[in-house]
Amino acid sequence: MARVLSLCRPKPFLALVGRRTPTFYKMSLDSRAREVFAAAIQAVQPDTVVRQSIERKEDIVIIDGRKFTLKNNLHLVGFGKAVLGMAAEVERILGDHLVKGVISVPNGIQQTLQKHGKNHLLLKEDSRIEVIEGAKHNLPDADAQKAAERIKQLASELTEKDLLLVLISGGGSALLPAPVPPISLHEKLDVTRRLAAAGATIQELNTVRRALSLLKGGGLAHFGHPAQVVGLILSDVIGDPLDLIASGPTVCSEVWPEEVVSILQRYSMFNSLPASVKEVLGRPSPRWEKKSEESNTGGNVFNAVIGSNTVALKYASRRARELGLRPVILSPGVCGDVKLVSRLYSLLARFGCSRKEPPPEIAAEMLRLGPDVGVETWDLCRTMQVLEEGRAEGWGATCLLAGGEPTVELTGKGRGGRNQELALRVGVELRNLEHPPKGPVFLSGGTDGQDGPTEAAGAVTDGGLWDEAQAQELDISNFLINNDSYTFFSSLSAGQRLLVPGLTCTNVMDVHILLIPPVPINIDRLL
């Protein structure tokens, strides 16, 4: 193991943070894991991220270090699941300069927020921002298209003296459907659905989707020119790629008809396309020509990611330290098959809980798994280094944090989502380890508060899960085959392991928390 870590050994962890004396905490590991998850969600609340990203100094607003002048010239548009709360906070801070605004938000969200007592995320009755609800069941519909048309109209009327603030969050793509005429919304949806069913990659899908859309791929910024366009983005995509979040309406993406046709021909779809789609793709430019004064540099467009999985993990780390845990952030980009991800976490737990130097096979297997689950070799080496030093120095419990969006292969018709299935699989992997408080605890939760079509965001598990299920005559393998993790956790001990935070009003993908209890100090190693 020492040989593996020596290849990527950073500056000693203890030298960076100083030696600490382990503190005894009565709160259980399960409770502390839930507290850390709650802190992650709180950090990326829509009003919180806006408030922390906008600094007002009289008639100047500072966003991510850039200054913009306010002269009763502010216009606002937005689209996404968290945009209503974002817009409410913007209006509280900059409302005296706001001329008008239009936002496209999910169907029923205002009533839902009222029902859950989230009135601080609602607009005031005298707001200058028009709210249009649409995209029922998270699918583009006529209401969402109406909102997109109103947003396009507002942007198109602006001058070089105006400032257009664009609020973007997860779900924004479905809430901003604007097919290039004469393509209908139904025709555009049909093409993209067929392409997805044929096995097209996400890059291919986005290329085709942008070509058939007026506002995606920089279209909104185009129609807003010559105004100054500022995008405030709450990211729900791994790595925060601006061109993929809500399909990049403020990020110029060149689309060539030849490339789109090539993709459609690759999946044998071109000949069966609607006449309207063929007409659009037959034009020299499939969407719009640049305005004569429009620059290729995008100088009038500024985008800032104000909330992300990375931000959530940062604040979760702070809360973990307050709870007497030693935080270690592994990665905000965990992805890939949930089976591989669960294996990685079980190996990390075994590595961290080992009372002596772990077998080198554990580190070797983790390093092999890393590329398949989106975790860099350097991050794994750094994490193992910290765990090794903690064991040698007698540190307290460790809180390993990660985030991202693993995938689940559907083999059944049960209820649940990737977080509950990940927690269930990790629990199975941990069955030979000690139970808490001497053994590890794992939590996986979706920051949007809903894991699949369930009320739960995820679940908390540990090495006692297997025995607990056996005692209650629950066959874990059958639940996994049927992708029925929610039913399993609901049936197990009256649902006590479920993670149910309620309406979170945000979404920055998932948060994974692995708590590793302190390893008893081997006095002989210190002498």
The 8 Å CB, 24+ separation contacts for 112-117 are: 112/503, 113/84, 113/85, 113/503, 113/505, 116/502, 116/503
pLDDT at 200 over 90: no
Segment among 4-18, 84-98, 344-358, 433-447 with least mean pLDDT:
4-18
Structure tokens at 7: 């290849």
pLDDT digits (tens, 9 = 90+) for 447-483: 999 999 999 999 999 999 999 999 999 999 999 999 9
Confidence (pLDDT) at 486: 98
Q: What is the 3-state secondary structure (H, E, C) of 141-157?
A: CHHHHHHHHHHHHHHHC
Helix (H, G, I), strand (E, B) or coil at 272: helix
Segment among 103-107, 252-256, 277-281 with least mean pLDDT:
252-256
pLDDT at 68 over 70: yes
pLDDT at 417 over 70: yes
61-89 mean pLDDT: 96
pLDDT above 70 as % of the chain: 91
pLDDT at 12 over 60: no
pLDDT at 502 over 50: yes
CA-CA distance, 236 to 217, in Å (whole number)?
Answer: 17
Domains of the chain (ranges plus CATH)? 41-287+299-307 (3.40.50.10180), 325-519 (3.40.1480.10)
180 in Cβ contact with 286 (< 8 Å): yes
pLDDT at 5 over 70: no
pLDDT digits (tens, 9 = 90+) for 18-66: 334 444 457 899 999 999 999 999 999 999 999 999 999 999 999 999 9
230-254 mean pLDDT: 92
Beta-strand runs (E) in 381-440: 398-404
CA-CA distance, 321 to 430, in Å (whole number)?
Answer: 25
Confidence (pLDDT) at 197: 86
**Nearest CA-CA partner of 325 in 516, 71, 41:** 516
Confidence (pLDDT) at 526: 46
Query: From the CB of residue 302, how many other CB atoms can be counted at a distance below 10 Å?
Result: 16
Segment among 206-210, 434-438, 453-457 with least mean pLDDT:
206-210
Confidence (pLDDT) at 356: 87
pLDDT at 283 over 90: no
Q: What is the pTM of this model?
A: 0.90
89 in Cβ contact with 120 (< 8 Å): no
Mean confidence (pLDDT) of the chain: 91
pLDDT band at 347 (very low <50, low <70, confident <90, very high): very high
Main-chain phi, psi angles of 322, to 5 degrees: -60, -30
